[in-house]
Amino acid sequence: MSNTFFYIIIGVAGLGLFGIMVWYFLLSRRLSSEDMKYIRELKKDTEGAGFSLDVVYQKLYVFYTKIPFLKRYLAKLRRRLEIINVEDEYLTRKQASEYLSRALLIIIPLTFLIVALTKSNYLLMFILLIFEIFITEIIIEGSVDKLDNKILKQQIDFFAEIRHAYHETNMVEEAIYQVAQNDEKEISLQAQKIYEILISDDPETELEKYYDIAPNSYLKEFAGISYLTKEFGDRTVDGSSLYLKNVNNITEEMQIEILKRDKLNYVFQSLTIIAILPVLFIDAIKNWSISQFSFTSSFYNGKWGFVTQILLLIITAVCFVLVRKVKDNGSIQTITNENPWQRKLYDKPIIKKIVNLFVPKKGTKEYRKIVKLLKDAASKQKMEWLFINRMAMCIAVFFISIFVFNQVHKVAIELVYTDTTTNSSIIGMSQSEEELAKKELESDNFFLDKYRGKKITKEQLRIVLVNSVAYENSTDEEIDEATDRIYTKLQTIDNEYLQWLELILAIAFAYMGYMSPIWLLFFQAKMRQLEMEDEVMQFQTIILMLMKIERVNVEIILEWLERYADIFKEPITRCVNNYESGAWESLEQLKNDTTFPLFIRIVESLQTAVEKIPIIQAFDELDSERDYYQEKRKQSNERLISRKALIGKVIGFAPMVCLFVGYLIVPLVIIGLGSMTGVFSGMQASI
């Protein structure tokens, strides 16, 4: 890229930013005009102080919906924010526009920085611009996760206010309504929704609908406990309200979860950036190394340097994805896109026929294996969509591999035409030696262009050189040296073409691309297994809340466990479906379907409660040893965070280690040792 073209890009970008600033200034003046002040005065009872900024975000929302690329991110933001802002379209649009605008304020300057740093390397520039898509995902998801954590912290105060209101009214729905009216925070929307459910004609059905859209499991538990208390009434246990005890149990669970998230966020707050940052310095390290050690030019400008760059980019992309998977704590539910590109593609008859050839038949071992993997990884995608992803990755990796191999050959040929450091030693070349090498390169390139791709022997080439003007006054030794050098270059150029071995490698890489979605699901499933103990302890809290409520039986407990289960959801669902056929047998099957000891102990207690003793006696140790289980839960979270932190740090720092070791230190050592060996050999020969 020429400097002139680069300056044009910067100039256009500067004019664009200046235009945006002027537009913002004019809009601000308009919003502060007398007419707008009069309108604000009329609406002062319904609007907050930041109305003008809200208007800007509302207009930006409409603007973003007209831009294809931004429209995708806006829709993704909407799907997540709709869960939090229950049926509040105005607030959803405002927050979606606000978060996307913040992301753009970071991405746009970063784009210019990337262009400035990589203007001489088109491939690296293109790949780094692709990485910006991932960075946008980080910023957007981080903003929504902060909002979800904010709501979780608001729930602590909300439940405290519920306790006071319940003492005054002794009615669940009235206490929730009273607190919802006095609270202008985000949690008040959820409280209002729960109140509407409790007073509806069919609260059980409405509650089931709310379970699907609740921002977190703790609001589900609160809504469920409130419904059961309203239906069956409250009880006094150990001198206090059972409902308030259950609310207190949920509060303790939330406090543990908030501490867990804060620690995870602290550990992973910079790992994602660390994982992706090294690719920005590939060109900087290359230029520094060549400027300080000229003998490394043949590596960095050659095909092996190019291949190393590609490997670094692949490692960075993989580590970036894995770090995000390790950090993911499932903090917020998402409404999956009902019409993704996979579905649109699958709806085409030809594509559908092709995909169905790869999808295993229902009932086969392979089909059951993949279904289990999708459930273990908590993936929302369908079987057909998974195979569309696999086929798309396979095709993309194959053609990208072919393209990269062609680029490798082009880089190798270009090095032959431009490299003047072939005879450079570890001590470098003097100015006169550099000028001589450039003249020699120009002479070599003339013969390379003339005889490239033509069959010529070394003897024929020597005759050509002897009869040429460039070597008319040269000695036989100089002609022999030039013949060997030019003939070697010709052989190198003629051998730089796509070979059958590279085609086999492209097929192998394509197969790895085909398997990569499956491997990612395996990794995600392994990460979720680390949280088994945490989920079982959540089950214990749910049972502790339900076991003292009258008319609660084992089937109701299983339905609640199914509702909040993640890792154990599939076996619990199967148990609930088979419960009416035989309670003991279905629980026995549930016990056989799992291998985690703590969960098996819960199932055995449920079996005891089916036939022998009441539920409150079957789980009496949960109540009597509550403090012990709470402390154990904290230690379990500490171990979980430590293991995730260790895995995350290993993966997050891998690209940086590969950059400095594989792209800087190793080439310097290997090439330096080779150059020193050549120098010592020359010194011994001269002696």
Q: What is the pLDDT of residue 684?
A: 59
pLDDT over threshold 80, residue 337: no
pLDDT over threshold 90, residue 511: yes
Phi/psi for 370 (5° steps) reads -70, -40
Q: What is the pLDDT of residue 295?
A: 74
Q: What is the pTM of this model?
A: 0.71
> Model confidence over 517-572: pLDDT tens digits?
898 888 888 777 777 777 888 888 888 888 878 778 888 888 888 888 878 888 88
Q: What distances in angstroms separate CA 293 from CA 429, 433, 668, one per listed residue?
A: 10, 16, 8
Residues in the chain: 687
Q: Give the CB-side neighbour count of residue 242, counting CA atoms within 13 A.
A: 19
Q: Is position 138 within any domain? A: yes
Residues 314 and 205 reside in one and the same domain = yes
Residues 149 and 298 reside in one and the same domain = yes
Classify burial at 514, counting beta carbons within 10 Å of its beta carbon; exposed 0-12, middle 13-18, buried 19 or more.
Answer: buried
What sign does the CA torsion over 215, 518, 132, 72 have?
negative
Residues 437 and 313 reside in one and the same domain = no
In one-letter notation, the amino acid at residue 362 is K
Question: In this predicted model, which residue has the larger pLDDT, 44 or 535?
Answer: 535
Q: Is position 675 within any domain? A: no
Residues 328 and 427 reside in one and the same domain = no
Determine the average pLDDT of the residues in 7-13.
58
pLDDT band at 508 (very low <50, low <70, confident <90, very high): very high
Domain count, the chain: 2
Residues 435 and 286 reside in one and the same domain = no
pLDDT band at 510 (very low <50, low <70, confident <90, very high): very high
What sign does the CA torsion over 191, 195, 196, 197 have?
positive
The domain boundary residue, chosen from 475, 494, 513: 494
Cβ pair 536, 599 in contact under 8 A: yes
> Model confidence over 367-391: pLDDT tens digits?
888 888 887 776 777 888 888 989 9
- pLDDT averaged over the chain? 79
d(CA 586, CA 607): 10
Q: Is position 389 within any domain? A: no
Determine the average pLDDT of the residues in 124-140.
74
Hey, which of 17-31, 145-159, 617-631 has the most confident mean pLDDT?
145-159
Cβ pair 139, 109 in contact under 8 A: no
Q: What is the pLDDT of residue 423?
A: 56
Nearest CA to 244 out of 232, 236, 254 is that of 236
Q: What is the pLDDT of residue 619?
A: 80
Q: Which long-range contacts (CB under 8 A, 24 or more apart) does 148-152 make?
A: 148/84, 148/215, 148/216, 148/331, 148/332, 149/258, 149/261, 149/331, 150/186, 151/84, 151/186, 151/187, 151/190, 151/215, 151/216, 152/216, 152/218, 152/254, 152/257, 152/258, 152/261
pLDDT over threshold 60, residue 3: no
pLDDT band at 593 (very low <50, low <70, confident <90, very high): confident
Least confident interval from 211-225, 253-267, 520-534 = 520-534
Q: Is position 174 within any domain? A: yes
Question: In this predicted model, which residue has the larger pLDDT, 501 or 141?
Answer: 501
pLDDT over threshold 80, residue 672: no
Q: Which two tokens stand for residue 622?
A: 């949960």
> Model confidence over 61-106: pLDDT tens digits?
888 888 877 887 788 788 778 777 776 788 888 888 888 888 888 8
Range of the domain at 467: 419-494
Cβ pair 61, 74 in contact under 8 A: yes
Question: In this predicted model, which residue has the larger pLDDT, 17 or 646?
Answer: 646
Residues 317 and 445 reside in one and the same domain = no
Q: Is position 447 within any domain? A: yes
Q: What is the pLDDT of residue 40?
A: 53
Helix (H) or strand (E) holding 237: strand 236-237
pLDDT band at 335 (very low <50, low <70, confident <90, very high): very low
> Model confidence over 595-635: pLDDT tens digits?
778 888 888 888 888 877 788 787 877 766 667 777 777 78
Q: What is the pLDDT of residue 1?
A: 43
Determine the average pLDDT of the residues in 392-411.
89
Scan for tokens 């406990």, then name that residue.
225
Q: Is position 382 within any domain? A: no
Residues 327 and 431 reside in one and the same domain = no
Residues 320 and 423 reside in one and the same domain = no
Instruction: Please list, in sequence order, all residues whose beta carbon lies within 8 angstroms of the beta carbon of residue 11, skipping any fewer than 6 positions away.
Output: none
Phi/psi for 572 (5° steps) reads -70, -40
Residues 183 and 328 reside in one and the same domain = yes
The domain boundary residue, chosen from 301, 335, 369: 335
> Model confidence over 360-369: pLDDT tens digits?
888 788 888 8
Residues 432 and 304 reside in one and the same domain = no
Q: Is position 624 within any domain? A: no
Question: In this predicted model, which residue has the larger pLDDT, 140 or 655?
Answer: 655
Q: What is the pLDDT of residue 383?
A: 85
Residues 322 and 424 reside in one and the same domain = no
Cβ pair 465, 483 in contact under 8 A: yes
pLDDT over threshold 70, residue 339: no
The domain boundary residue, chosen from 304, 335, 366: 335
Residues 298 and 436 reside in one and the same domain = no
Q: Is position 181 within any domain? A: yes
